[in-house]
Structures are given as structure tokens and as C-alpha cells.
Amino acid sequence: MSVVAFFGHRDFDYSQYEEKIRGKIVSLIGEGAATFYNGMRGNFDVLCAEIVHGLKPRYPHIENINVLSYLPRAGWRPPREFDGSVYLLERSVPPRFAIYYTDRAMVERADFIISGIVLKSGGAWAACRYALAYGKPVWNVVE
């Protein structure tokens, strides 16, 4: 069973790509993807979380996992779209670097990356560059 991670920009409208993203996710499920990592930090992440959540009745074996960049407070629960959450960092990092290192940890554990990169800047772009350098396949919905 493979892991898919999502990276996209916070403030871009991805609604026109919804069906294209859904099709890619379904294709990856058919190829063995079962776990979907999502940082839930922007519009792309929200859309992808909703798509995976909506596919659960058809594919009950898949897991939609909210990847946390910071340790949660007591009583915190993941958003309704998720089956659970995980904190991937194995060591303490300064808060200003938490997202950067969390993105790298997601890439390292993922088998495939779905991205929505429209700008050659920002954390999502850096994560996808890291994924390519790490030898991970990256599919960009906007290309």
C-alpha cells in the first residue's frame, strides 16, 4: 500500500481542477495508494481532503491523514474530513521551521506527490523540488 502527499498554494482557487484531481486520486487508488497525507494549510489541501473524504464510501480502505506541523493541544481533534492525524517530526525544531521540516518528512514517507504549483516560490514549491530531488514522482494538476 502506498502513500500519497499533497502540496499546493494557500490562496489559489483550485476549483476548476477538482475533477482532474479526483481522477488522479482514483487512478492512484487503483495502483495501490491507500494513505493520503495532507497538511491542511491552504485551498489546495482543503480541496484534496474533501475529495479523498468523498471517496471513502467507494474505497473504504483508504485513509485520509492530517499531518501536523505542531504538537496539538489537549482535546484537539482533526477536521471531519480526516480519519486521524500524525506528527512526523522525530526531533524538536524551532516553530518557524516546523512546516518546512514537516513537508520534507511527508515527502520522505510518500510514494507519490500530487501538487497544485502555480508559482515558483513558497513552501509547496520547495517541497515539490525536494520531492523531485529525492526521486519521488510529482504530478502537478495545473500543468
pLDDT in tens, 32-50: 999 999 999 999 999 999 9
CATH number for 22: 3.40.50.450
Look at residue 24 and tell me whether its pLDDT is greater than 90: yes
Residue 91: CB atoms within 10 Å: 5
Banded model confidence at residue 91, pLDDT cuts 50, 70, 90: confident
Q: How far apart are CA 113 and CA 56, in angstroms?
A: 20
> Side chain identity at 71, as an amino acid letter?
L
Q: Which pTM does this prediction carry?
A: 0.95
User: Which three cell numbers, joined as nine digits, stand for 68?
Assistant: 501536523
Average pLDDT over residues 83-111: 95
- Which pLDDT score is estimated for 114? 98
CB 112 within 8 Å of CB 91? no
Average pLDDT over residues 76-85: 95
Q: How far apart are CA 21 and CA 119, in angstroms?
A: 18
User: Which three cell numbers, joined as nine digits, stand for 56?
Assistant: 471513502
Banded model confidence at residue 72, pLDDT cuts 50, 70, 90: confident
- Which pLDDT score is estimated for 131? 98
What's the structural domain count of the chain? 1
User: Which three cell numbers, joined as nine digits, stand for 98?
Assistant: 516546523
For 117, the domain range is 2-140
